[in-house]
Structure 1
Amino acid sequence: MNVPNAVSILRIIMTVPVYILTVMGPDYKIAALILFAIAALSDLFDGWYARKFNQITNLGKFLDQISDKILINAVFIALLGAGIIPGWFVAIIVSRDTFVSGIRMFLASKNVVVAADNFGKLKTFLQIVSILYAYLFVNEPVLISLLIFTAVVSVVSGINYFTKNKHYIL
């Protein structure tokens, strides 16, 4: 197993303590924030490392995407449970990610592996910013605006993903 793949697996493992710290309440919010930030930064590291040392693999493309979805969706669910973000937002994000993951599995069955594009990377960036902001500024009007923008970009990126790959699907 190469370094980027190991880092992606570590990101999945880090999801558990981030989730637990988030649902434990406000006294643990900063610890959850710090651990989440480290996990999010590991996403940048594994991508950089894979490109720099020519360790890009199909497994890595899969693990990177899945580890991001697990981390981000679990934290959004924890923030929902803590009463920090609304359910409509989590439903949109989880639905979009499930839809795109379904497409990825279908494409994988046809031996097609699709890496994330810039729109997907923007979506992930906005989701990470939304989480960081939610930890720092609970129930702020700016947070709701950020969540709306993030939800719109997430849905549009899901539509874009389908559209770019529909020739494999239909």
Structure 2
Amino acid sequence: MSIWTVPNILTFIRILATIPMFIITYNEKYYLIAFFIYIIVSLTDLLDGYIARKYNLVSDFGKFMDQIADKILINALLLVFLEMHKLPGWFVAIIITRDIFISGLRMFLANKNVVVAADRWGKLKTFSQTILIASLYLTPTLVFLENLNFILILLTTFFSVFSGYNYLSKNLVYLKGE
């Protein structure tokens, strides 16, 4: 199967969209536009998975790159929000550290022919990150979201740490004897 399937193209679009999203996020007056672009780009994550399953286009490449595309987009935006003092450093450090660790685990296990696909907790982590970023974009317009953002930061931290622990514990069997 070629890597140039519709699901994989949607994944690449998500990666490429990071650049304009990163630039737009530096200016609050464009946050409403950025919000709508971000929602559309985030929906490609759901769409690529749906198409891959429905048309039997699921591939190891797609499973791996889908995760990388999410991390590129989300972590780039978290860094901009950190730089603009809209997120605390401890939060961004936890998210990025967890993502690098799990990506390293995935790469290590891929060398053992083990593909670590996203599970429910990883999807909850991505969903909570997506909701948090959407809320950050809407906060200048809907000021009441400021209080909600702190709760979203705590929830996202929980899902990130727990899903990282879950991936590690489920795959410890492959790390034995190393």
TM-score normalised by structure 2 residue count? 0.92
Using the TM superposition, give the Cα deviation of residue 92 of structure 1 relative to its aligned residue in structure 2, in angstroms.
Answer: 0.7
Look at both structures and tell me which one has the larger radius of gyration over its CA atoms: 2
Q: Which runs of 5+ in 1 are unaligned?
A: none
Deviates more, 1:138-147 or 1:91-100: 138-147
RMSD: 1.1
Q: Answer yes or no: is 1:2 the counterpart of 2:28.
A: no
| Structure 1 outlier segments of 4+, above 2 Å | none
Q: Which of 25, 28, 32 is 1:26 aligned to?
A: 28
For residues 1-32 of structure 1, give each alpha carbon's deviation from its aligned partner in whole angstroms, at most 9, with x where no partner exists. Answer: 11101110110000110010001x21111122
Q: Answer yes or no: is 1:81 the counterpart of 2:83.
A: yes
Q: Answer yes or no: is 1:143 the counterpart of 2:145.
A: no
Please give the alpha-carbon distance, in whole angstroms, between the structure 1 residues aligned to 2:92 and 2:33.
22
Please give the alpha-carbon distance, in whole angstroms, between the structure 1 residues aligned to 2:77 and 2:39.
12
Instruction: Look up the match of 2:19.
Output: 16
Deviates more, 1:79-88 or 1:1-10: 79-88
Deviates more, 1:31-40 or 1:43-52: 31-40
Greater helix share, structure number: 1
Using the TM superposition, give the Cα deviation of residue 81 of structure 1 relative to its aligned residue in structure 2, in angstroms.
Answer: 1.5
TM-score normalised by structure 1 residue count? 0.96
Q: Which runs of 5+ in 2 are unaligned?
A: none
Using the TM superposition, give the Cα deviation of residue 141 of structure 1 relative to its aligned residue in structure 2, in angstroms.
Answer: 2.1
For residues 34-80 of structure 1, give each alpha carbon's deviation from its aligned partner in whole angstroms, at most 9, with x where no partner exists. Answer: 11111100000000000000000000001111001111111111111
- Contact 1:11–1:67 under 8 Å retained in 2: yes
Please give the alpha-carbon distance, in whole angstroms, between the structure 1 residues aligned to 2:36 and 2:80.
15
